[in-house]
Amino acid sequence: MRRYEYRRITRPSAANAPYNQMFRRLIVQTVALVAVMAALLFVPAGTLAWPGAWAFLGEMAAGSVLIGGWLARHDPGLLAERMSGLFQREQPRGDKILMAVFLALVLAWLPLMALDAERYRLSHVPAWLQSIGALALAMLFVASFLVFRANTYAAPAVKLQAQRGHRVVTEGPYAVVRHPMYAAAILYFLGTPLLLGSWWGLAFAPAFIALLAVRAVMEERMLTRALDGYPAYAARVRYRLVPFIW
């Protein structure tokens, strides 16, 4: 008598559905962002044969997916905040204006570096400095991961997240500087032009760092008014962005 073996068909657990849905959304947003950056780089460059740009886009895509995947599993609330955009309803008007200026500068900065480094080849950045740029971007993602692991309230918009039980975070990198996410962003604005091979792009870094400093001060004013315990924390942790400097 022939014996038949029946296999039980397994389906994804319902508990994994929110994770899968959020991870798919993360992939879509990451692909869209990388596509926009690729257009801003390769179109003005006039060529696809630009190793520095491919390395930059690869690092941005890999870092975003790795950190986003971890957040989707361990802190979906923060990932939802991170994917909700730079402009939000609860955000102060001043921060919206500042971020609009920031975004406009970045959208001009990437094509400028393409024209400088590839189309007209005005800059000549040695390979070892380009490697340091790539390392700086890798360090950016490591620092960002440490920030997200410590602070579930690290939203892209300046706002009080009362519905999520917003509290002062003092652990991890927040024990060193008060705005470690902005400190990590400095690595982006220094590492990107080095990796892409553009001295003109690097010349814009001080302007971006100045905008980060302005935003840090604006955010602190809001947190001092609205978040219990923030003044005591600010008095205990002296430096905003860079230890022993500011």
How does pLDDT run along the chain (246 residues), one tens digit per residue? Answer: 444 443 443 344 444 668 888 889 999 999 999 999 999 999 999 999 999 999 999 999 999 999 999 999 999 999 999 998 888 888 899 999 999 999 999 999 999 999 999 999 999 999 999 999 999 999 999 999 999 999 999 999 888 888 888 999 999 999 999 999 999 999 999 999 999 999 999 999 999 999 999 999 999 999 999 999 999 999 999 999 999 999
pLDDT of residue 16: 62
Instruction: Give backbone dihedrals phi and psi of 141, rounded to 5 degrees, phi first.
Output: -70, -35
Helix and strand numbers, DSSP H then E, in the chain = 9, 0
Instruction: Give the integer Cα–Cα distance in Å for 56 and 195.
Output: 7
CATH 1.10.3720.10 describes domain 17-236:
no
Q: Residue 160 CA to chain centroid, in angstroms?
A: 20
Instruction: Give the integer Cα–Cα distance in Å for 126 and 194.
Output: 9
pTM: 0.90
Asked if residues 195 and 134 have their Cβ atoms less than 8 Å apart, the reply is yes
Q: Can you give the residue ranges of every domain in the chain?
A: 17-236
pLDDT of residue 107: 96
Q: What's the length of the chain?
A: 246
Token readout for 197 is 């091979």
Of 241, 67, 211, the residue nearest 141 (C-alpha): 67
Asked if residues 44 and 114 have their Cβ atoms less than 8 Å apart, the reply is yes
Instruction: Give the integer Cα–Cα distance in Å for 110 and 127.
Output: 20
pLDDT of residue 17: 62
Instruction: Give the integer Cα–Cα distance in Å for 88 and 156.
Output: 9
pLDDT of residue 2: 45
Residues 6+ apart with CB under 8 A from 167: 153, 227, 228, 229
Instruction: Give the integer Cα–Cα distance in Å for 30 and 23.
Output: 10
For residue range 152-190, what is the model confidence (pLDDT) as tens digits? 999 998 888 888 889 999 999 999 999 999 999 999 999
